[in-house]
Structure 1
Amino acid sequence: MSGRVVDRGAGRAEPPRSVNRAFRAGGGAMRQRMRLIVQWVVVLVGLNVLMWQLPALVGEADRVGASLAEVSWGWVGMAVLFGSGALVLYGELHRRLLVAGGARVPGRSVQAINFAENALSTTLPAVGNAAGFVYAAHHLRKRQVDVGLAVWSLVLAGAVATVALIALGLLAVGVAGQIPVLVAVPLATGVVLGAWGCWRVASRPQVLRRCASGLIGLGRHLPASCRVRAADPEALAQRVSDRIGLLRPSVIQWMLITGCAGLSWVLDFLSLFASVTAVGHLVPWSALVVGFLVVQASIALQIFPGGVGLAEGGLLGVLVAYGVPVAPAVAGVLVYRLINWLGLAAMGWVVYAVQIHLTSHHQHRRAPECPGCGPATTR
């Protein structure tokens, strides 16, 4: 052996660039097909959950057929309007947070994301909330909203809505006589002031930078199209914190944001009122307040998708405990949950499926004419 280094690749012919480009293009097409397959599988899983629960609700409906036979469709229509309006207002709350952060996303796009996110979070077992969160962040990123602002706005939207529910719930139980008003008002005020203090602390640059580091860690687990890649995570955390630090709503913007959150819960409560009134039985105000809060607590626990079972059982138990006969109580619960859970979730899955179709059609329409043109981008 002469000790000479032999270049084993010297005698190999490099494949033409066109072949490499064609291979990459084929790989991109395969990934797109797999993405579509996964998306449609998610749709089928969600719809199967709805269909799995539907026979149980229909069976209950057979037992209270007399009450449902006398249902007032005018009140049912009002319940549908109130329920869908509550979800639309939550989407508007999110849109106004995005506007406060400097992102201009069309209202129809935010509402489409909002309805689909609601369907994912309320019907997918175990991973519903996480799936809805990732879906919303992914589609906001596709509409040119940076990952930091997209995730931050989603977190804030949920936080504002939760604070509004707690404050309004305390005031409502006070007015309904469940606790003294002189106790309910200070408690509600303390919740709002405490939330405002947390916001003031969380919006400081040092705290934002720590939050940004967490967001970057979360961003590494998002879909490939919006995954965070950075050679210097610390520098990126600084840039992200500076970016989301711009989300500082003015006083007027805060009034609109909190107004959307509060009115959303009011409409949801009115949907419950209309659903119970539709079966022709008057229910005490205090029973509706307590029942509504029990439903929301059941949903928030996320033990089952959309609080199924717990929400219906809790609401029914409250109504019966307040003297409502079993048949109209069951009928009212069924009407409310058919509208505000199954109905809104079904609408969200339709939006989700349409989004898949529009995205794939848009990508196909703008696909490159040659393998070397690079992947098409969508907004």
Structure 2
Amino acid sequence: MATIGWAQAHEERKPFPWRAVLHWAVVGTALGWVAWRIPGMVSQFTETGVHVDHVRWGWLLVAVLSGAGALAVYGELHRKLLVVGGVSLPSGTVQGINFAQNAVSTTVPVVGGAGSLGYGIQQLRRRGVSGPVAAWSVLMAGLITSVSLIVIGALGLAIAGELPAVVAVPIAVVLGGGTFGAWQLLSHPAVLRHGLLWITPRRWAARAESAAIRLSDNVASLRPNGREWPVLVAVALLTWVLDFVTLVASVLTVDVQIPWAALVVGFLIVQGSIALQILPGGAGLAETGLLGVLLSAGIAAAPAGAIVLFYRAITWLGLAVIGWAVYALLPRRLSSTNHS
């Protein structure tokens, strides 16, 4: 009897929750790292010499709202791409995944970018989205926003007088038109088939033709129509506009005059530092680059340092804290949804 009782107890014993332990270990480590960074940023603000009485709190609120809004608009781009793929998820669900994905991307060293893509796809699949549609939503959102940034960045530098128009306009046209042309190539079986047959040895022609048909069929099933493309591009552009507004509002928070050219260059340097992924969220490189641009534009060290701290505290650390909090709650929310 004792043996039977022990066997039953052994069978009823639940396995050790390794996944939950790992989940909370990741959350704790990330939040601990962010918390470790916050005192340093506070002390740096104190060292700038800008007194809190001189801070224009209304503009700081605008910066906070526009910074959060930029990320939320990026989440809406994810949702619209899912709709193109025939999937409709609640906006709150998509936004939660988006904010958590951003936290992974901007705070996890080395593999943050790739890890955030994998995390986003995994979370969508756990909610019933097929693998191709999940990958489409995550990867295309990044592609559209990246191309949009380069295009408007080149045009912005031309308007600011930092880049000749004869250079900026061709860059924008070639990149924008080339990306659209490549998409049209992938989504039209006949064109793709002829292209592959032209560059493929004759003995591989049959295999290349079948591969072209399969690839085009998969891509064409997710192809936005003529009315959806302008909306997707407009949403991607709005993401960057709101991010730039965050920088402008951070400048107005300390009430200084800065040339528009310096703001455009500084903004692009920050985004480039983030994209390089040398350090999470462009840590160090982004702050140094933006500060250098502001100082070279004739801004005093104190307000320049405050601008950098406000902008990065909002768009990097602030959103990272929110994202990791969402990351911690997402599994519990999914579990409660499955049991309801």
TM-score (norm: length of structure 2): 0.86
Verify the 8 A CA contact 2:187 2:216 in the aligned structure 1: no
| CA shift in 2, pair 1:99/1:179, >3 Å | same
Give 1:160's aligned residue.
144
1:302 maps to what in 2?
277
C-alpha offsets along residues 342-369 of structure 1, whole Å, 9 cap, x if unaligned?
1111111111112133234456x57xxx
The CA distance in 2 between the partners of 1:255 and 1:271, in whole Å, is 24
Extract unaligned runs of 5+ from structure 1.
1-18, 210-234, 367-379
- Determine the C-alpha separation between the residues in 1 that align with 2:179 and 2:311: 31
C-alpha distance 158-147 of structure 1, shift in aligned 2 (>3 A): same
How far is the alpha carbon of 1:153 from its aligned partner? 2.1
Aligned-partner Cα distance in 2 for 1:153–1:307: 24
- In 1, the alpha carbon distance for the partners of 2:192 and 2:131 equals 14
2:15 is matched with which residue: 11, 15, 30? 30
Task: Determine the C-alpha separation between the residues in 2 that align with 1:120 and 1:281.
Answer: 34
The answer to whether residue 91 in structure 2 is matched with residue 107 in structure 1 is: yes
Which has more helix, going by share of residues?
2
Cα-Cα RMSD: 2.7
**Alignment-derived partner of residue 268 in structure 2:** 293
Label 1:81 to 1:87 Cα distance change in 2 as closer, same or farther (>3 A).
same
How many residue pairs end up in the alignment? Answer: 317
- For the 8 Å contact 2:81–2:141, the answer to whether it is kept is yes
- What's 1:247 paired with? 222
- Structure 1 residues 351 and 206 mapped into 2: Cα distance closer, same or farther (>3 Å)? farther
String of CA shifts for 1:253-294, please: whole Å, max 9, x gaps: 111100000011011001000011101111110000000000
Give the deviation of 1:182 after TM superposition.
Answer: 4.0
Superposed CA deviations along residues 140-170 of structure 1, whole A, max 9, x for unmatched, are 0012111122112211111100000000001
* Structure 2 residue aligned with 1:352: 327
Corresponding letter in the other structure for 2:91 = G
Q: Any conservation in 2 of the 1:36–1:356 contact (CA below 8 Å)?
A: no
Contact in 1 for aligned 2:59/2:250 (Cα 8 Å): yes
> Are residues 75 and 40 of structure 1, via their aligned partners in 2, closer, same or farther at CA, if it must alter by over 3 Å?
same
What displacement does 1:47 show?
0.8
Q: What SS does the aligned partner of 1:251 have?
A: coil
- Give the direction of change, closer, same or farther, for the CA distance of 1:327–1:294 in structure 2 (3 Å limit): same
1-side partners of 2:320 and 2:192: how far apart?
34
Go from structure 1 to structure 2 and tell me whether the alpha carbon gap of 1:179 and 1:243 turns closer, same or farther (over 3 Å shift). closer
CA shift, 1:98, in A, is 1.1
Change (3 A) 1:323 1:92: same
Extract unaligned runs of 5+ from structure 2. Answer: 1-6, 194-209
> 1:154-233 to 2 correspondence within 5 Å?
154-205=138-189
1:343 counterpart residue number: 318
Partner of residue 92, structure 1: 76
Asked whether the 8 Å contact 1:149–1:243 carries over to 2, the reply is no
2:248 is the counterpart of 1:273: yes
Contact 1:122 1:341 in 2 (8 A): yes
1:206 Cα offset (Å): 9.3
Paired AA for residue 116 in structure 1: A
